[in-house]
Amino acid sequence: MARNFRLWENAQVISLLNPAADAAGRTSQYVSLANAHKAFIVATITQGNAAQVTLTPLQAQDTSGTNSKALTAAAAIVYNANVSATDLLTIAAAAASYQTDAGTNNKVVIFEIDPIESMDLNSGTLNASSVPQPFNHLAIQTSASNVANITSALLILTPLRNAGLNPPTALV
């Protein structure tokens, strides 16, 4: 069998949110997109309560979340509101966030984020050398919902600018 594509050689897979209750909402770590052409946030929700969950990708200037804000432009979104019943994805309207329905099902929501289209790469605060610091770091934020709602998220960066078995870390 040919091995023309291996996920671990052509993408970085980063755990943004470990599975946990979302009663108060939470924000993941910020990850650099400097080595990737696109980012895919794959969020899973075990919705045990009808309280909806809003997922919002956030952009920032560094891994500390400096000047964090919502995406500058809408991103492509697909979802499956009941993964126990089907594996088919539905295309949602492009947006800067996504809110689940009230159904108590297991769900998946995928954001496709092209930094050039959806992030503020050309402006930002000036550093000590008067160089604008772009918004090239990404995180995901969940809204407050209910303790019975469990969320998690992965970030998949691909295609990589420097592909290989050990690409440069995105956690800086």
Q: Yes or no: say if 32 and 167 are a contact pair by the CB < 8 Å rule.
A: no
Mean pLDDT of 131-154: 91
3-state SS, one letter per residue, for 81-108: CCCCCCCCCEEEEEECCEECCCCCCEEE
* pLDDT above 80: residue 69: yes
Sign of CA dihedral 47, 95, 118, 67: negative
The whole-number pLDDT of residue 29 equals 95
* Alpha helix ranges (H) inside the chain: 7-10, 115-118
pTM of the model: 0.89
Question: pLDDT: is 11 or 38 the higher one?
Answer: 38
**Which residue carries 């050039």 as its tokens?**
116
* pLDDT above 60: residue 127: no
Q: Which domains does the chain have, with CATH numbers?
A: 16-160 (2.60.120)
Question: pLDDT: is 84 or 133 the higher one?
Answer: 84
Mean pLDDT of 160-172: 64
